[in-house]
Amino acid sequence: MNNVKFVAASQLLYLEPMVWVAGRLSMHRDNDEIYAADLEAQSAMLDATPDCLKILAPDGTLVTMNSAGCLALGVTKAQVKGSAWITLLPSPVHSAATDAFAQALSGNTARFAGYSEGPERITYWDNLLTPVVDRAGKVSSIVCVSRDVTEQTLLRRQLDKSLEREQLLSREMLHRIKNIFSVVGAVVMMSDREARASGGPDGVAGIVSNKLSALGRAYESVLAGPDISNVDMEAFIASVLNPFGSQCRFTGPKQLVPQALCNTFALFFHELATNSVKHGSLSVAKGEVHVRWSRTDDALRIDWREVGGPPIAAPPERSGFGTHMIDRLAKSTGGAITRSWDSGGLYVQLMVPRPNSEPG
């Protein structure tokens, strides 16, 4: 009894009497009268707690289990004695439970996380196994205390998701800031080319100023989120791609941008345009981007094709953050993005379901 160790102080209140009863059950296994009396006393004690409590034999079968345990594992009191404990647990938990039981059988306190599936919810358990040692130093039984930690588990998962979301937002903001510098550099180069070609009075400064103003409006569209609504598709695309000038051509039927898809479309066009400025057809004077949209009864389709840019030898070895970001956005709407790195230029297709509340 002296080698029994336990980590949860709040559970120590009933662990010691449980261990005492478990020891008596082991000692009087052959005396039916004493065994029955001890079992009745032990059952009354165990049923007084909402935790799942059970005593296991060294062969892994149940000696007894309280009412909370029976409810959690879906068995009756009559089915408890002699039942294999691990087989009553969900199969994904079997490995951890087997390892913990082996540790307890070797004389050490063990712990593992588990769960049970009820009709209305999943309950998560923190399982602690403590060996009961007889006078000969041999493990005669194992006390298993399972405490409901559902609230803590769900809270921890919620916090993990919040942290992951914050990290994603930080990465997205850093990505956009880096893109701003890349796009501004490209705008200056485009403006210089236009000024040299036109020889107009505005010069580079005027063209740069106009393009940066357009770029600001484009970023406003990108960042405005779901507040944008009832915008004509052509005007919408023109607004986002305006900073890139006459190198962008677009066509399609009359179509209003569904409010639920505004942010997805804005980020989709802006991300592709930014990448094109850095690596594709918008990085050279004669390159162009052709955008076409179409629709079916249940889907909107957008085709982005780059021509006249640097030749593509092979697809990129890895995808950047921006690519993953617009893929996630498309997936969140129930849509999908496909890409083809043709030698003549990148081709991208976006397919998204048409929302039920789509305008027009």
CATH label of the domain that carries residue 300: 3.30.565.10
CB atoms within 10 A of CB 173: 10
- Strands 248-251 and 288-295, bridge-based pairing: parallel
Residue 46 has pLDDT above 60, yes or no: yes
Do 104 and 241 share a domain, yes or no? no
Do 128 and 276 share a domain, yes or no? no
Query: Does residue 159 lie within any of the structural domains?
Result: no
Residue 327: domain span: 166-353
Do 275 and 309 share a domain, yes or no? yes
The predicted structure's pLDDT at residue 5: 38
133 phi and psi, to 5 degrees? -105, 135
Compute the distance between CA of residue 310 and CA of residue 288 in angstroms, rounded to an integer. 11
Do 182 and 315 share a domain, yes or no? yes
Do 333 and 234 share a domain, yes or no? yes
Residue 253 has pLDDT above 70, yes or no: yes
- Residue 175, SS3? helix
Do 263 and 339 share a domain, yes or no? yes
pTM comes to: 0.45
Q: How many domains does the chain have?
A: 2
Query: Does residue 279 lie within any of the structural domains?
Result: yes
Do 143 and 247 share a domain, yes or no? no
What is the CATH number for 118? 3.30.450.20
Q: Angle at CA 87, nearest 5°, toward 81 and 89?
A: 100
Query: Does residue 153 lie within any of the structural domains?
Result: no
Query: Does residue 154 lie within any of the structural domains?
Result: no
Do 202 and 124 share a domain, yes or no? no
Do 211 and 317 share a domain, yes or no? yes
70-108: per-residue pLDDT in tens? 888 888 988 988 999 999 999 999 999 999 999 999 999
Q: Name the percent of the chain lying above pLDDT 70.
A: 68
Do 267 and 189 share a domain, yes or no? yes
The predicted structure's pLDDT at residue 12: 42
